[in-house]
Structure 1
Amino acid sequence: MIAFIKGTVSDLLDDSVILENQGMGYRIFTSSSVLAALSAGDSVTLHTHLNVREDAMQLYGFLTRDDLEVFRQLITVSGIGPKAGIAILSVMTGNDLRYAIMAGDSKSISKAPGVGAKTAQKVILELKDKLKVEDMLNTSEEPEIVSNTGNTELINEAVLALAALGYSQTDAMRAVRQCSIAEGMSVEELLKLALKQMLK
């Protein structure tokens, strides 16, 4: 089994990323939030799940091991396949899902494309004892992304600052990547721009 792949982003597709490693290009399906956090040329580590079907072998990848574990728990639910699991993690983070399950909030889960109210209720019923809010205490893992823009240290500091304010690492990375970074920009200036992105 392939536990993770570390490589360079070669291309970004609508539903997947092409990650180049030692001359080979791996197509890894992932959530829209992960795709938004990446840019071509980035060096990144994706934690992967290999889904084997009769007609295909597909890799699904995530920025943290916790997101991968949440995905694996999701696809154990009756009626939730890899595509639906990715759809759910595209509209909410793993921790958001934990909160939704704790609160019995099927409406938030059913916002995912292709996931109806009944399926969302199944997610809550079948995962309420598996995905707990207490698990968030052990999810301090940081995504491994090295930007190709030359501003890696600045970006990482801004992402950590947003995470300290309570935002998820993935949402923080997405917001920072949407900012226009000027030469000589300080962390404080980038943080202000990123916060504006988060509030849109």
Structure 2
Amino acid sequence: MTYPLRKVLHKPESSGRMLKWAVELGQFDLEYMPRTAIKGQALADFLLEFDSEIDGKALVAVHPSPPEEVLEEFPHPWWVLHVDGIVNNGGAGAGIVLVSLEGHHLMSAIHFKFYATNNYAEYEALINGLKISLEMGVRNLIAKSDSELVVNQVNGGFQARGPRTELYLRCAQCLIGRFREVRLECVP
């Protein structure tokens, strides 16, 4: 009788090890059959395991997307975005952490290959964090930054001075406009 091996404990690396495995498994009268379609097999195993819970329901709904007014009826979860820019002797960079409602963390670190001041690094962190959030399909966002200047400029409390700062401000506001709702908060 032949059984496909479901779990590989150790991948043999040489013919000597293969012989040892053959001796070890020989007492069980097993025959090795390679599994070529592991992805398809994993899906089939999953379906069999949860077959009683599915009760004829499809795993993937096959219907067009609901209209926008239907989507508005359902509350969208609030995600939290933590951003921080840094400049030191080693260069400039940004740290970004996007936290879902369930507590999953998506972390990103960016090293800038251009000159940046502390404020530019903070803006870069915010802008890249907003871009990542949009790519993840986030609709409602609470963004937290330790830069009082950037938070107040984006929220409209402070004026942006200088052409580069104004470009950063417009870019951040343009990205924020693509969300359903964004709250930008300053944290210590």
Same structural fold, with TM-score higher than 0.5 when normalized by the shorter chain: no
Q: Report the structure, 1 or 2, having the larger helix content.
A: 1
Greater CA radius of gyration, 1 or 2?
Answer: 2
Structure 1 length-normalised TM: 0.21
Structure 2 length-normalised TM: 0.22
